[in-house]
Amino acid sequence: MTRASLDKQPHEVASMFDDVAERYDLTNDVISLGQARLWRKEVARAVDARPAQKVLDLAAGTATSSGPFAQAGAYVVPCDFSLGMLRVGKQRHPWMPFTAGDAMKLPFKDDTFDAVTISFGLRNVQDTDAALREMYRVTRPGGRVVICEFSEPTWGPFRTVYIEYLMRALPPVARTVCSNPDAYVYLAESIRSWPNQPQLAARLQGAGWSKVAYRNLTGGVVALHRGFKQS
């Protein structure tokens, strides 16, 4: 996958994340200007994991996002298709049931999880709609999905500044803390080409999810989408 390619061949995307696994969490904190931790807290609040519930955390990487669900008493399964990410995560959290899996063909039975969540990973999946359908399949009736993803800032002047930051400032910033800055060129371009809030909501509805809603974080830089599987 070249720097500018958005074809998203799964093995190439996985390899890219393998390369940045060791410093991925640090890099995210730097390039998000510290906002990543606040976004994770909002995801945990939206998922609202409870004791004994089963939560599937897709694109979990090193499982930084999975911690709050485990702390709430839920049984959380961190799942990712990057073996490099999973290895680093297993070293840090050896007790978690890390699982290698592709979001387009999840290795779980129907109606397994009370909640499925994915943060900053859906846009890296080759077929978004297939992934949304798979999330629906493995969620139990009455269960929920929470998607946290970069989106479109709602204020025009800020949107322009934001796009400039993504395309011009993000790669040099990433270069200071990351061994593979080209990965962040890809990430910047994938963010710019990603559907906006109403468009992603429509795709969730198309995959079968009901009561679909979203709310913006940081002025729309990030959006939290939520949906339910009918009982």
pLDDT given for residue 31 in this prediction: 56
Tell me if 119 is assigned to a ligand binding site.
yes
Q: What percent of the chain has pLDDT over 90?
A: 58
Tell me if 62 is assigned to a ligand binding site.
yes
Q: Report the residue count for the chain.
A: 231
Residue 90 predicted with pLDDT over 70 = yes
pLDDT given for residue 165 in this prediction: 72
Domains of the chain by residue range = 10-229
pLDDT given for residue 45 in this prediction: 96
pTM to 2 decimals? 0.84
3: which 2 tokens? 């720097």
Asked whether the beta carbons of 143 and 116 are under 8 A apart, the reply is: yes
Distance CA 150, CA 28 (A): 13
Tell me if 82 is assigned to a ligand binding site.
no
pLDDT given for residue 68 in this prediction: 95
Output the CA–CA distances (angstroms, integers) from residue 210 to 45, 114, 195, in the order listed: 20, 15, 19
Residues 149-155, mean pLDDT to the nearest whole number: 90
What is the distance in angstroms between the CA of the first residue and the CA of the last residue of the chain? 41
Tell me which of 104 and 22 has the higher pLDDT: 104
The letter for the amino acid at 38 is: L
pLDDT given for residue 59 in this prediction: 92
- Per the CATH hierarchy, to which homologous superfamily does domain 10-229 belong? Vaccinia Virus protein VP39 (3.40.50.150)
Q: Mean pLDDT score of the chain, rounded to an integer?
A: 85
Residue 217 predicted with pLDDT over 90 = yes
Output the CA–CA distances (angstroms, integers) from residue 196 to 99, 104, 130, 168, 216, in the order listed: 30, 21, 18, 21, 11
Mind listing the pLDDT tens digit for each residue in 108-125? 999 999 999 999 889 889
